[in-house]
Amino acid sequence: MFRQPGQESNIINGKQDSSAHESVAGLIADLPLFADLEPSLHRQIEGISRLLTAAEDAVLSLQGEMPRYLHILLDGQVALTSTMADGTTAVILVVHPGEHFILPSVLAGLPYLMTARALMAVRAVAVDGVALRQLAEREPLLASALLRSMSYEFRGMVQQVRDLKLRTAAQRLGCYLLARVQDAEARKADFRLPFEKALLAAQIGCGQETLSRAFAALRRHGVETHGSRVILHDIPRLRLLAIPDGPGEFSPA
Amino acid sequence: MFRQPGQESNIINGKQDSSAHESVAGLIADLPLFADLEPSLHRQIEGISRLLTAAEDAVLSLQGEMPRYLHILLDGQVALTSTMADGTTAVILVVHPGEHFILPSVLAGLPYLMTARALMAVRAVAVDGVALRQLAEREPLLASALLRSMSYEFRGMVQQVRDLKLRTAAQRLGCYLLARVQDAEARKADFRLPFEKALLAAQIGCGQETLSRAFAALRRHGVETHGSRVILHDIPRLRLLAIPDGPGEFSPA
């Protein structure tokens, strides 16, 4: 077990968090993870949950520590990172509103294998991990909901492993950019990257120099960048290079 | 959805499999996945399971198809591969006896996202997927066992993503070789690779040329190879290069 220097002071827990006692009443039923459950179960989950707010850069869970909460993100973004013994760190996932972290650690009752850091001010529901596990052991419908959710997450990890093994950095970047485009019919798009390029490189799984080369390689496929602004001039052409997964083919949707 | 050419003819199902009606009585209780369950649950799982044998190269599940069985391997090895639309294929995992596949697809009721192919003659328990899901919805202890198992598997995937993002191919190969050494105190080791180098390259996530370069790089760290035979002359030195995870640090054990 190891720590990244300077992280401990930022750790969010009940005592340091000013909003610890804010009610989660009415929030639980709207969370995708719990949406299919009975109202009586929603109330039981409310009883073991609290609302949490944290500032940018706050650490919500620390690699190597025992899990206390399942966090379900309401607002903001959280990076899940993993650090090796030599101090190098990879971004494994970026969590978006409606998604949760880190369910496998909470359910296995094993130390967090990733650090969760707020990329901006965040708001989250924090569900007591031990109480959630006990509730799932009594309530098969809750257990089924958690199983289903983890199945989807697992599929996402398989996809990521396959991408890292088979796609070039330029293809992974191309897929990432294409996934930012909401309109499946669009031929052009213009948007801002949701976070800085160092984090983008870490998420795509390459160094910053490789990311710069990947952006340069994509220029020939109609990708223009100005700082964080990205313009896709020719989406069909970018698709030919990046070969994103079709909807029925691999993605969990 | 796409198929790899020539795979369909090998698919194992109840009708083609001569051992379809062989009993699994007494086997279920010994499987790690179900070991903690009550005898009455063991009998229920027996009722929805059968024993399956398959020859080398047989396909036990095919990417893109709906899951029919959870397979639990008794003997042999199975490669789980994922193929992209352009036909390139990555080995995501190699399954060993006592391990199962592909639980997330079975539980999510979504198409297999990997093809499972026998690397040698295999024997497996095949549990009916729909019946298992229904049983887990009624039996919280079974649901908990499945949740725990998937949590462990998820952790393994996180580790693999991190390795692919942070370790060089030589380090990944070094970690792979070090993991083959059973004796934690050993300074030297001598063993055979369990499968051919093309598959090893695919599992480590590099091309065969990169694998050859990785073996060449490891020679300076005391790794000698003759065909499939590997001799580690200086395990502590190899550890310094590969930086394998410590037991409490990352691995699910």
**CATH value at residue B183:** 1.10.10.10
Domain boundary (A132, A157, A182) is at A157
pLDDT-derived band at B22 (thresholds 50, 70, 90) equals low
Both B83 and B122 in a single domain? Answer: yes
Backbone angles phi and psi of A211, in degrees to 5: -65, -40
Helix (H) or strand (E) holding A200: helix A197-204
Is the predicted pLDDT of residue B117 greater than 70, yes or no? yes
pLDDT of residue A26: 85
Chain A 49-108, residues with CB within 8 Å of chain B CB atoms: 64, 82, 84-86, 88-92, 103-105, 107-108
CATH code for the domain in which residue B136 is found? 2.60.120.10
Cis peptide before B12 (omega within 30 of 0): no
Which residue out of A2, A86, A166 would a mutagenesis test of the B interface target, given it has the greatest number of B Cβ atoms within 10 Å? A166
Both B136 and B192 in a single domain? Answer: no
Distance of CA B233 to the CA centre of its chain: 28
| B38-67 average pLDDT score | 96
pLDDT of residue A9: 39
Domain boundary (B164, B185, B212) is at B164
* pLDDT, chain B, mean: 87
Least confident of A118-127, A161-170, B11-20, B223-232: B11-20
Test A161 with B92 for CB contact under 8 angstroms.
Answer: yes
Q: What distance in Å separates the CA atoms of residue A206 and residue A217, rounded to the nearest whole number?
A: 15
pLDDT-derived band at A218 (thresholds 50, 70, 90) equals very high
Is the predicted pLDDT of residue B13 greater than 60, yes or no? no
pLDDT of residue A203: 86
Q: B109 or B4: which carries more pLDDT confidence?
A: B109
| Interval B127-162: pLDDT, tens | 999 999 999 989 988 998 999 999 999 988 998 999
Both B59 and B138 in a single domain? Answer: yes
Both B137 and B95 in a single domain? Answer: yes
Number of separate domains in chain B: 2
pLDDT of residue B133: 93
* pLDDT, chain A, mean: 87
Both B80 and B144 in a single domain? Answer: yes
Q: What distance in Å separates the CA atoms of residue A43 and residue B140, rounded to the nearest whole number?
A: 20
Backbone angles phi and psi of A79, in degrees to 5: -95, 130
| B162-189 average pLDDT score | 92
| A178-197 average pLDDT score | 91
Both B157 and B48 in a single domain? Answer: yes
User: Which domain covers residue A55, as residue numbers?
Assistant: 8-157
Domain boundary (B164, B198, B220) is at B164
Both B187 and B81 in a single domain? Answer: no
pLDDT-derived band at A247 (thresholds 50, 70, 90) equals low
Backbone angles phi and psi of B70, in degrees to 5: -90, 125
Is the predicted pLDDT of residue B8 greater than 80, yes or no? no
pLDDT of residue B20: 46
Test B143 with A143 for CB contact under 8 angstroms.
Answer: yes
Which amino acid does the sequence have at A242?
Answer: A
Q: What token pair was written down for B89?
A: 């294929």
Is the predicted pLDDT of residue A174 greater than 50, yes or no? yes
Percentage of the residues of chain A whose pLDDT score is greater than 70:
88
Both A99 and A173 in a single domain? Answer: no
